[in-house]
Chains A and B, each alone.
Chain A
Amino acid sequence: MENKNTKFNFAKAMEELEKINRWFESEEVDLEEGIKKFDEGMKLIEFCKERLKQVENKIIKIKKQ
């Protein structure tokens, strides 16, 4: 779980959500596409919420040569 979350890029997910939001606000009336986008958005929101549950930050000290 932790591994998966680390690989998952929060910034990109938020960017995708913004894109979907913009699509919804456009005047298109394509219900089929809308349902697809809606599903995708809901999944991204869940991912992000899961990611927010991570509390720890990892510190790696660099050893000088």
Chain B
Amino acid sequence: MNLFDYSNQFIKQEKKNISNNNKVLSVTEFNNYVNSIISIQQVIVEGEISGFKIAKERLIYFDLKDDKSVVSCFLFKFQLDKMGVVLEDGMKIQVTGTPNLHSTGRFNLIAEFIKPVGEGSIKRALELLKQKLFQEGIFAPERKRPLPKFPENIGLITSQDAAAYTDFIKVLSHRFGGITIYFYPVSVQGEKAPNEITEAFNYFNQKMPNLNVLVLTRGGGSLEDLMAFNSEKVVRSVFGSKIPVICAVGHERDESLSDFAADKRASTPSNAAELLVPERSEVEWQLNKIKERFVYQMDKKIKSLEQFYQILENRMNIWWQNLLQKLELEERLLKSFDPEAILERGYSITMLGEKILKNATQVKMGDKIITKLKKGKVESTVN
């Protein structure tokens, strides 16, 4: 029995009851009575949105329709915000809610949960959420942090059964060792997934804030399978993490909003491991290169020091030579000033007492003068 049949039968029974009692109802009583019948259980209704409007920034009204019928839907804006769903006209959705007849006589489906259905609507809803989060700056490239070069403590958030888990661990261990992986198992799809993933982020950020990096990953799947990674809650957890986050969801082509919010996006779980750690052989090669460079630099330093001393020595030699030359020159000059040297060449010096005679007026008759020759001296009297 489907819901429609069920309601019909229920109403028929009630009809009989009321006729029997012959009771007259006030309008309020009638509306309350109708409500007591129609609001007994939650329904899920699928249809297309039209006439979507937000009143007073608080209340949301829209019609849900199919090709024959229309029903008005109502909910509070905060409820929709909490669901992380953005709606617009033409979108196909499933509304989980309760039928309700308002005292004004208006019939509504009071929505409690809304989810877009069909690929077109899911994609559109995703696009709208993406725009909203983009405007908030959640995907801004300038807030992205660099990943640590050699992480030693990693927080892993994924499902244990998933191939993603195995792939990540395998590729990581293949490349680098000595890493401690703190694994927080979560559901990666289904209704529970967003809450569990958010809890994992809270756990790591509160209890293990010193981890080098967090890895959020799952393997490929349909758009609906990946929806947890597009939920606003998860995206905000990724964005809000104090520990840098690398996100790898699905295959190469798959993109999720969590990818965009993360510090680094990897295309696959294996790629996340590749981006996180270098390969051993690569590091070993690098270390050898560094060693070679050190040896070369040290050699260069010693050589340049030798060169420095060589230059110093040359300079000192030149300086010494210069000094010697200068001394020799000065010696010769001094020698040329030696009066004895003049006598050598046949000149003589004539003196009056202690004074050297330079002018004839210096002497008068009868003065005794002495003439110094190279060898010996001659005493004479002036006439």
> Does B291 touch A at the CB level, under 8 Å?
yes
- Write 5 A-B pairs (CB below 8 A) sorted by A numbering: A42-B291, A57-B177, A59-B183, A64-B185, A64-B199
Q: How many of chain B's residues have a CB under 8 angstroms from any CB in A?
A: 35
Question: Who on chain B is nearest to A12 by CB?
Answer: B150
Residue in B169, B172, B183, B298 whose beta carbon sits within 8 Å of that of A62 in the complex:
B183
- Which B residues form the contact surface with A (CB < 8 A)? 148-152, 169, 172-173, 176-185, 199, 203, 280, 283-284, 287, 290-291, 293-294, 297-298, 301-302, 304-305, 308
Q: How far is the CB of B192 from chain A (nearest CB, A)?
A: 12
- A52:B294 contact, CB within 8 angstroms: no
Within 8 A of B (CB), among A4-23: 5-6, 9-11, 14, 17, 20-21
User: B155 — nearest CB in chain A belongs to which residue?
Assistant: A62
Indicate which residue in A11, A34, A52, A60 contacts B298 across the interface (CB closer than 8 Å): A34
Whether A34 pairs with B178 at a CB distance below 8 angstroms is no
Judging by beta carbons under 8 Å apart, are B152 and A34 in contact? no
Let me know if B183 and A60 touch, CB within 8 A.
yes
Find out whether the CB atom of A45 lies under 8 angstroms from the CB atom of B291.
yes
A10 to B293, CA, bound (A): 20
Say which residue of B182, B203, B297 sits within 8 Å of A24 (CB atoms): B297
Closest Cβ–Cβ distance, residue B379 to chain A (whole Å): 75
Main secondary structure of the interface of A (DSSP, over half): helix
**Size of interface on A: residues with Cβ below 8 Å to B:** 34
In the bound complex, residues from chain A placing their C-beta under 8 Å from that of B290 are: 17, 21, 41, 45
B177/A55 in contact, CB under 8 A: yes
Chain A neighbourhood of B280, CB < 8 A? 52
Minimum CB–CB distance from B196 to chain A (whole Å) comes to 9
Least Cβ distance of A9 to chain B in Å? 7
Say whether A51 contacts B182, CB under 8 Å. Answer: no
Binary contact readout A21-58 vs B (1 if CB under 8 angstroms, 0 otherwise): 10011000101001100100110010011011111111
**Smallest beta-carbon distance A63→chain B, Å:** 9
Cα(A15)–Cα(B102), bound, Å: 69
Q: Name the B residues within 8 Å of A24 (CB-CB).
A: 293-294, 297-298, 301
Contact A57 B287 (CB under 8 A): no
Does A6 lie within 8 Å of B178, measured CB to CB?
yes
Query: Which 5 residue pairs are nearest across A and B when measured between Cβ atoms?
Result: A54-B178, A24-B297, A54-B177, A11-B150, A55-B177
